Amino acid sequence: MPELPEVETVARTLAPQVCDCVIENSHVLRPGSIHSLSCPMRSLHGRRIMGTGRRGKLLLLDLYPVTTPPQAPHCLIMHLRMTGRVMTWPEGTRPGPHTRCIWDLRTPQGTQRRLFFDDTRAFGLVLAAAPDALQRWAFWRQLGPEPLDLSPQEFIAVLANRDARIKAVLLDQKAVAGIGNIYADEGLFRARIAPDRRASSLTGAEAVRLLQSLQEVLRLSIAQCGSSIRDYRDANGDVGAFQNSFAVYGRSGQPCTVCGRILSKTRVAGRSTVFCQHCQR
């Protein structure tokens, strides 16, 4: 947490606040939050934020120089992990107790804003990446395909010959990027597939049904600005609403929304997993 829908929501809500802004200064308040492959933050000074995006659970800011001669584009990447939060604040706003990095921005109107990266548990990472750094970052190179872009045939190929349990495969960022505990549980329930099934045991029809279910759940969550369970807020400071639609996640011991039987709880790939023993096979 945050997972794909939450990071996508942060990217969308952050865009109108930072696009076309120029980074004028930076302040690293916790050096341990900077990835070892990162360029110095000062290398971003004078670069314009051209857009925001997402890859898996990573938040991306695309940066280009405003000076000549042109230089290679950079990307500012933030891995929010458990409690990372990205928001802008007025000029002069002082850091909070969990602020890890600050970037001072000049807006197209000539005013000043501050972009904060806050992280209560300090598990998140910030990477100022030149193109070659991304190719040296094993996590980036090994990220699997985006689930919203996968075709049925591609997803069947992802699952083929994998003896691991299906939920473990969904959580593996090398197999599929962006899915975490919430959306694995919700997608499997919607597809009526037990989380401890071996991935290779799924038929082609079951794999297609699972992909469709995952895509439906992810799109529904994005439409509701993600799921706010503990710390997650979008770039406007607003909470998501998809947690109000959970069918299984966090509902162990409660009735199944389909059959009314009590939902079960187990562990798969070290993660708490809630499912219906009657509906999911």
Q: What are phi and psi of 271, to 5 degrees?
A: -115, 140
- Residue 91, both tokens: 């000029």
Tokens 């994005």, located at residue: 222
From the candidates 57, 100, 114, 190, which is the catalytic residue?
57
From the candidates 3, 6, 8, 186, which is the catalytic residue?
3
CB atoms within 10 A of CB 96: 11
Amino acid in the structure at residue 53: G
Q: How far apart (Å, rounded) are the C-alpha atoms in residues 212 and 58? A: 23
Q: Is 271 a catalytic residue?
A: yes
Helix/strand/coil (H, E, C) string of 247-268?
CCCCCCCCECCCCCCECEEEEE
Q: Is 3 a catalytic residue?
A: yes
CB atoms within 10 A of CB 261: 12
Q: How far apart (Å, rounded) are the C-alpha atoms in residues 158 and 175? A: 6
From the candidates 2, 5, 147, 195, which is the catalytic residue?
2
Q: Is 57 a catalytic residue?
A: yes
Amino acid in the structure at residue 153: Q
Orientation of helix 204-223 relative to helix 181-191, angle to 10°: 130
From the candidates 12, 55, 197, 271, which is the catalytic residue?
271
Residues forming the active site: 2-3, 57, 271
